[in-house]
Amino acid sequence: MLQSSRISKLTRLSTSVVAGLFLAIAGFSTAVIAADPAPAAMATANPLVPGKPKADPAAGEALYANGDPSRGVVACIGCHGVNGMSASGAWPKLAAQHAAYTTKQLKNYKDGTRANAIMAGMSAALTEQDMNNISAYLVKQEPALGVAQNKASIDLGKAIYHGGIAAKGVPACAACHSPNGAGIPSQYPRMGGQWAEYNTAQLVAFREGVRKNSAQMTTIATKLSDQEMQAVSDYMAGLR
């Protein structure tokens, strides 16, 4: 009888221990599963920005070409042209522009860091996701092509772009925007093929303090004469 009682107690103890271990393991597994993102969430996650959804070029194309009247979003194509190829130097070519740069400019227009009455209104209705989508669409387009128009200033423009102006402390544009004007993704914009009129206007805006969203460019522009701005802008228009 004593032996039977002892065996019974050991059996109950073993059962309790096994049950406890099972519950502990089950609790740990549940915690791991809960901490692991669902497959659907992982599919839409942006690997570059944790917690942010991926940019959608197709959605960006739809907004670029058609806007979204229900939200007051106006189509970009009217000014910036089909596939980001504007027809006039009044509006920049946006084809193949680095996505991070385009998104930054849209944010700056919306928050007022970059002043432009038209673009402030255009960007006001855009969400950050809209901006990312439009930028993702534009960066996939073929780069803009152009030619330098002013033969008389091409040597000056080339010298400034590739060598800067040492006497004025002006660095070479190529150091940031690359020798062929392609820029550096996520850091410096593409300049090759851009309208000379547009780039000259931006340099003037930096120099005059109208455009304030790049301290680096403000410093450089204040050291350039009108002739130097026009020469380097014309030269950049022909880069590819």
Q: Are residues 119 and 191 in the same domain?
A: no
- Please give the distance of CA 201 from its chain centroid, rounded to a whole number: 22
Task: Check which CATH number belongs to the domain holding 89 and give it.
Answer: 1.10.760.10
Does the annotation list 162 as a binding residue? no
pLDDT single digits (tens) 7-17: 344 344 344 43
Q: Are residues 63 and 133 in the same domain?
A: yes
Residue at 75 is within a domain: yes
pLDDT single digits (tens) 195-236: 999 999 999 999 999 999 999 999 999 999 999 999 999 999
Nearest to 99 by CA among 146, 51, 64: 64
Segments of the chain assigned E as strands: 45-46, 49-53
Does the annotation list 85 as a binding residue? no
Q: Are residues 211 and 163 in the same domain?
A: yes
Which residue range is the domain that position 212 belongs to? 151-237
Residue 52 is predicted with a pLDDT of 72
Number of domains in the chain: 3
pLDDT surpasses 80 at 79 = yes
Does the annotation list 98 as a binding residue? no
pLDDT single digits (tens) 138-152: 999 999 999 999 999
- Please give the distance of CA 70 from its chain centroid, rounded to a whole number: 25
Amino acid at 125: A
Residue at 199 is within a domain: yes
Does the annotation list 119 as a binding residue? yes
User: Quick one: angle between helices 99-111 and 117-124, nearest 10?
Assistant: 100
Are 122 and 109 within 8 A, CB to CB? yes
Residue at 42 is within a domain: no
pLDDT surpasses 90 at 121 = yes
Q: Are residues 67 and 15 in the same domain?
A: no
Does the annotation list 1 as a binding residue? no
What mean pLDDT do residues 140-168 have?
97
Residue at 209 is within a domain: yes
What mean pLDDT do residues 176-191 have?
96
